[in-house]
Amino acid sequence: LVKQMNGLYRVKDNLLSQLFLLGQHLKKSFEKIEFIQISHSENKEADHLANVAILK
């Protein structure tokens, strides 16, 4: 997804293509936006924190 949003890969799936176009449109709303790859270990922590926030 990061490489697709950065224009390095193309989107092949129809549903993902629609979401990609929406994302491209929304990113124009920001003065600066950056898409970066996050390692799995950091993703696990973010996922855990999101779940904790949802359960509150």
The predicted-structure confidence for 1-34, as pLDDT tens digits, reads as follows: 889 999 999 999 998 899 999 999 999 999 999 9
pLDDT of residue 18: 93
Residue 38 pLDDT grade (very low, low, confident, very high; cuts 50, 70, 90): confident
- Residues 49, 55, 56: CA angle, nearest 5 degrees: 95
Mark residue 3 as left, alpha or beta (left: phi above 0; alpha: psi -120 to 50; beta: remaining).
alpha
Contact criterion met (CB below 8 Å) for 36 and 2: yes
Instruction: For residues 48 and 8, give the distance between their C-alpha atoms in angstroms, rounded to a whole number.
Output: 30
